[in-house]
Amino acid sequence: MTLIKSISGIRGTIGGKTGDNLTPLDTVKFAAAYGTWLKTESGKDKIKVVVGRDARISGRMIQELTMNTLTGLGIDVIDLGLSTTPTVEVAVPMEKADGGIILTASHNPKQWNALKLLNSKGEFLDGEAGSRILEIAEKENFSFAEVDDLGSIESIEDYIDKHIDEVLKLKLVDAEKVSKAALKVAVDGVNSTGGIAIPALLKKMGVEVIELYCDPNGHFPHNPEPLKEHLQDICELVKKEKADFGIVVDPDVDRLAFIDENGEMFGEEYTLVACADYVLSKTPGNTVSNLSSSRALRDVTTKHNGEYFASAVGEVNVVKMMKEKNAVIGGEGNGGIIYPESHYGRDSLVGTALFLTYLAENGKKVSQLRKEYPSYYMSKNKIELTPDLDVDGILKAVEERHSKAEISTVDGVKIDFPENWVHLRKSNTEPIIRIYTEAKSQKEADELAQKMIREIKEIIA
């Protein structure tokens, strides 16, 4: 069982001993730390926090503990109930709230849950804020409100609908055009809140929907990470129903993957590429993804005369660079679309609406669209080290070996070769180096990874 404390929040497995798992006591402690930080940060006498959850079995329990801890601090709470990560992000500024908490462990299995923390803009906290909250939690220096000053809880049950309405207002989303295209789409909602949000969006855009695992009961029917090896059921359903394509989201609906009309993966990395291709064709500009995302986004950005930038891994880092570079779209290669015209957060509803409009406009099949983009293949590996080794020194030695190549040390070491790249990152929690490679064939990507593993072993020896 596990409890992981990080600057972006706290996540862990349900049950077990306090301090080792996400128990009720741990939930209360970290909710109190966030509320205490928020009260200090805002400087206001009365503050408001939006809280929503995915459909995990533990969600209701964790949400009640979180909300009642906040009211115990004198904070008013807006309870969205079953929601999505992007819906909570949108709700914070719409409700003029001072912060937000999303109760979700994203793509982790059902025994996990987490408190993901937002600022007053509905964006994830930066490292400084996250570190401060961890310090407050460690000291447990909380001051709760007296009886006349307790906070209140207001329930708003239709925020997914409000979110959908905001998506449909976007200039590059054309529901009328999509409706005329008469598309049929299969949706795998992994029995979480994507099963509520995505079909509702599609129906409002005039799309015929075939639902698979869209009952938000928290019993995930397969591994909830939207990877090819977990998605055989929807791939078969798309073919059986002769659907135009399939949509898959993770439990909190910030990762988006497509299945083409032949039941083949469009490629999670290419979700952002396709949406960026459409956005850049209408609003030329810059793009951002993290260092471990596909080179295909750079290629598409260059095609539209924009400039591509790579940030350190992590949504907060992508958002920071998007603001610095005034990017018109960005995100992460795991199917996370960040479209600033909507908000600075990964949003599968926005990605779906943009993709549908793009398809309706160009009239192509999803498989045809995929063939228009350069094909890259990734390999993800790791090398385990003994705790006594100097990981930073090893990465420095790799950097020196390849000093003539294009190198970034923003986050570990990324080496860009003419035809491929390798990204080496050390883990913050265990003695390993993660090795990501990308090339124009799977064989080449795998061989590059093994070559780097051999180099690291030579350096250690």
Active site residues: 106
**Strand pairing partners for 48?**
76
Three-state SS string over the chain comes to CCEEEECCEEEEECCCCECCECCHHHHHHHHHHHHHHHHHHHCCCCCEEEEEECCCCCHHHHHHHHHHHHHHCCCEEEEEEECCHHHHHHHHHHCCCCEEEEECCCCCCCCEEEEEEECCCCCECCHHHHHHHHHHHHHCCCCCCCHHHCCCEEECCCHHHHHHHHHHCCCCCCHHHHHHHCCEEEEECCCCCHHHHHHHHHHHCCCEEEEECCCCCCCCCCCCCCCHHHCHHHHHHHHHCCCCEEEEECCCCCCEEEECCCCCECCHHHHHHHHHHHHHHHCCCEEEEECCCCCHHHHHHHHCCCCEEEECCCHHHHHHHHHHHCEEEEEECCCEEEECCCECCCCHHHHHHHHHHHHHHHCCCHHHHHHCCCCCEEEEEEEECCCCCCHHHHHHHHHHHCCCCEEECCCCEEEECCCCEEEEEECCCCCEEEEEEEECCHHHHHHHHHHHHHHHHHHHC
What distance in Å separates the CA atoms of residue 38 and residue 120, rounded to the nearest whole number? 9
